């Protein structure tokens, strides 16, 4: 990205952008040597993510508060993991758990639908005397069983 700005003469604020990219590189290298929770806090405070959220909220205090709560949760959650890779694995497992849970709910819904549909079949599966069919033919009038 730095090379893009170096090669282009027409880029406005070229020096400022190159300086910002250099600082970003230093910040990411610094964060890379930290624990996950500390690195995220560093990004929020030092790199300026907090200021970015204020700017992005555009004066909407509700939006800013919602985003700040998400960041607080994120910072707290990150304390449970040693590094980004451990956190990423936990997220994958959580997604799989949600997928399985959704699949189970879908299967339960389908099973309930089938049960509802089968209630009508069960009612039709009884003979006129109200006796359930057993797979054998019912006795004839003379008391004999048909085969």
Are 126 and 132 within 8 A, CB to CB?
yes
Q: To 5 degrees, how large is the angle CA 76–CA 101–CA 73?
A: 10
Across residues 23-34, what is the average pLDDT? 85
46 contacts: CB under 8 Å, gap ≥ 6: 27
**Band of the pLDDT at 93, cuts 50, 70, 90?**
very high
pLDDT of the residue at 68? 92
Q: What is the number of other CB atoms lying within 10 angstroms of the CB of residue 84?
A: 15
Domain boundaries, the chain: 83-112
**Rounded to an integer, what is the distance from CA 31 to the centroid of its chain?**
26
Per DSSP, 139 falls in state: P
């Amino acid at each position: 990205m730095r090379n893009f700005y170096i090669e282009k003469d027409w880029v406005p604020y070229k020096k400022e952008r190159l300086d910002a990219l250099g600082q970003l590189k230093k910040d990411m290298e610094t964060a890379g040597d930290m624990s996950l929770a500390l690195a995220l806090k560093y990004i929020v405070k030092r790199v300026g993510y907090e200021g970015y959220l204020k700017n992005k909220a555009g004066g909407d205090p509700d939006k800013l508060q919602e985003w700040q709560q998400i960041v607080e949760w994120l910072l707290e959650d990150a304390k449970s993991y040693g590094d980004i890779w451990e956190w990423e694995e936990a997220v994958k497992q959580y997604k799989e758990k949600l997928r399985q849970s959704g699949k189970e709910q879908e299967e339960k819904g389908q099973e309930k639908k089938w049960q509802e549909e089968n209630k009508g079949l069960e009612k039709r599966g009884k003979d006129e005397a109200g006796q359930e069919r057993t797979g054998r033919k019912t006795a004839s009038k003379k008391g004999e069983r048909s085969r």
